[in-house]
């Protein structure tokens, strides 16, 4: 179903490419080795499951900061608010990508531990939390694109409350 949503197509292709790069980086002399996670630059800092999921966490935090900055930025027509929220959205996309890369590489790493250990990465609470993070963000990004609104509707909800409060105050005056 996700293939029909254009941004998800791009995400799937990018994630597949980086996950395959990460998996290929584990190869040494025709066999995979977990020790390469500490030796290969890309694995150590970006593509091993631990690194990718750490980046996911940092990027979700940064995305939240940009959404909040955009929500509280002035609406004077300069476009600063829209720019900040757009940055938050783009960072959230990268965070979802890093979560998926980390999940796919973790799946391969589990087979490097042992063939009988290999499992799809939803077998413990840590992996399920990662799944929850990227899936929730992907749903949010879908609805953000579908309804062409950012900040999860918080700005609209705050604006409606503010208008009701002003209407109540001005009626009494």
pLDDT, tens digit, 9 for 90 and up, residues 89-105: 999 999 999 999 999 99
Burial 100-134 (b: 16+ CB within 10 A, else e): bbbbbbbbbbbebeeeeeeeebeeeeebeebeebb
| Spatial separation of the C-alpha atoms in residues 88 and 64, rounded to whole Å | 7
pLDDT, tens digit, 9 for 90 and up, residues 4-57: 888 999 999 999 999 999 999 999 888 888 899 999 999 999 999 999 999 999
**Residue that wins the pLDDT comparison between 75 and 7:** 7
Q: What is the pTM (predicted TM-score) of this model? A: 0.83
Length of the chain in terms of residues written:
173
CB burial class (10 A; 0-12, 13-18, 19+) of residue 26? buried
Task: Label residue 157 by pLDDT band (50, 70, 90).
Answer: very low
Q: Which backbone phi and psi does 31 adopt, to 5 degrees?
A: -135, 150
State residue 26's pLDDT score: 94
SS3 31: strand
Helices (H), ranges, the chain: 6-25, 41-42, 49-72, 80-113, 125-147, 154-172
- Rounded to 10 deg, the angle between the 154-172 and 49-72 helix axes is 20
SS3 28: strand
Q: What is the mean pLDDT of residues 53-82?
A: 89
């Amino acid at each position: 179903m996700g293939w029909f949503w254009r941004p998800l197509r791009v995400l799937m292709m990018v994630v597949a490419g980086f996950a395959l790069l990460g998996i290929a980086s584990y190869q040494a002399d025709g066999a995979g080795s977990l020790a390469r996670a500490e030796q290969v630059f890309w694995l150590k800092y970006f593509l091993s499951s631990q690194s990718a999921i750490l980046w996911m966490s940092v990027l979700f935090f940064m995305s939240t900061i940009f959404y909040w900055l955009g929500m509280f930025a002035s609406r004077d027509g300069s476009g600063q608010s829209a720019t900040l929220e757009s940055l938050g959205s783009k960072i959230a996309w990268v965070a979802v990508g890093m979560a998926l890369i980390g999940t796919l590489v973790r799946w391969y790493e589990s087979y490097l531990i042992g063939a009988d250990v290999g499992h799809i990465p939803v077998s413990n609470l840590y992996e399920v939390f990662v799944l929850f993070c990227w899936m929730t963000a992907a749903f949010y990004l879908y609805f953000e694109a579908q309804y062409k609104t950012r900040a999860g509707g918080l700005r609209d909800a705050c604006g409606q409350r503010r208008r009701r409060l002003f209407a109540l105050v001005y009626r009494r005056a």
